[in-house]
């Protein structure tokens, strides 16, 4: 069985130099920021921020301030390098640590894009942020959902924490949120994202033939390609949602 360190290594290889590490486009991320009412001085906390691409996009477009939290040291380093290069060092801080342990003193908007596994899945994430955020705060959540109510068992078993969108909306309401914005990824978004992962894996395999993880990365590549071709395109969607904490 692969260790947590092995999983993180493979994930880092697969993500490679992808700027946006989810199947979503820059215009949609800006739309989500607009829907969240971001403006100069809005304080944002990005849980599982990766290389801080989203934080820098919103800093450039809305002049936000904020904190990104990321457990992978390589991504933390990339995030800090990008922030310093952009001149946003006075406005954006990166904390290298466990996102689930970080409790901000204040937060106008919390972000969790493609990082719900940190909190036990989409349902767990909604519950976590329902308890964390004050009334009036915003949550920008992005993750997978089932396009259909019937998913082949052999595929569904691999993704036990994924809800349908109907279930996602119901969980949000139960946690005191109202959904204000929803956008689903296009087939192009999905293909761009998945193809980027495949290219990163292939490049790493070519340049690291003697690495002990070579077989594991190759196995991972085959697995995700087969899943995407057999099931992913038909049954799995990815959406970004803006939710407002109402407390009701």
Phi–psi pair at 216, nearest 5 degrees: -65, -40
Of 196, 194, 197, 218, the C-alpha closest to 206 is: 218
Query: H helices of the chain, where?
Result: 4-15, 26-35, 53-62, 73-86, 122-132, 153-156, 165-174, 187-207, 214-227, 233-235
Please give the structure tokens belonging to residue 123: 């349902």
**Chain mean pLDDT for the chain:** 92
- CA–CA distance, 168 with 225 (Å, rounded to integer): 27
- Print the domain residue range for 22: 4-245
Q: Which whole number is the average pLDDT over 21-37?
A: 96
Is the confidence at residue 4, as pLDDT, over 70?
no
The pLDDT-based confidence of 5 (bands split at 50, 70, 90) is low
* pLDDT for position 248: 64
Q: Which residues pair with 93 in a beta bridge?
A: 67
Say what the pTM is.
Answer: 0.92
> pLDDT by residue (tens digit) across 133-143?
999 999 999 99
CA distance 221 to 205: 10
- Whole-angstrom distance, CA of residue 51 vs CA of residue 30: 17
3-state secondary structure of 13: helix
CB atoms within 10 A of CB 223: 11
Give how many domains the chain has, as a whole number.
Answer: 1
What does the pLDDT look like over 170-223, one tens digit per residue?
Answer: 999 999 999 999 999 999 999 999 999 999 999 999 999 999 999 999 999 999
Q: What percentage of the chain has pLDDT greater than the value 90?
A: 81
- On whether the CB atoms of residues 110 and 47 are closer than 8 A, the answer is yes
128: domain CATH number is: 3.40.50.150
Tens-place pLDDT, residues 102-127: 988 889 999 999 999 999 999 999 99
- Classify residue 2 as left (phi > 0), alpha (psi -120 to 50) or beta: beta
Q: Is the model more confident about 180 or about 159?
A: 180
């Amino acid at each position: 069985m692969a260790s947590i360190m092995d999983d993180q290594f493979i994930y880092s290889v697969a993500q490679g130099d992808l700027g946006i590490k989810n199947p979503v486009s820059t215009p949609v991320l800006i739309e989500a920021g607009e829907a969240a009412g971001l403006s100069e001085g809005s304080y944002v906390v990005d849980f599982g921020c990766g290389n801080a691409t989203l934080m820098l996009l919103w800093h450039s477009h809305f002049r936000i301030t904020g904190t990104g939290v990321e457990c992978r040291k390589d991504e933390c380093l990339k995030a800090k390098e990008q922030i310093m290069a952009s001149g946003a060092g006075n406005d954006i801080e990166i904390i290298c640590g466990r996102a689930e342990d970080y409790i901000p003193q204040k937060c106008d908007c919390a972000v969790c894009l493609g990082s719900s596994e940190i909190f036990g899945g989409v349902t767990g994430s909604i519950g976590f942020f329902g308890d964390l955020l004050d009334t009036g705060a915003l949550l920008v959540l992005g993750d997978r959902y089932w396009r259909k109510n019937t998913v082949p068992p052999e595929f569904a078993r691999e993704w036990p924490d994924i809800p349908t969108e109907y279930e996602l909306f119901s969980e949000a309401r139960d946690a005191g949120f109202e959904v204000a914005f929803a956008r689903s990824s296009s087939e192009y978004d999905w293909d761009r994202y998945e193809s980027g992962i495949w290219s990163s894996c292939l490049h790493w395999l070519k340049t690291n033939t003697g690495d002990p993880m070579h077989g594991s990365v190759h196995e991972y590549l085959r697995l995700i390609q087969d899943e995407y071709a057999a099931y992913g395109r038909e049954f799995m969607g990815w959406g970004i949602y803006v939710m407002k904490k109402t407390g009701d």
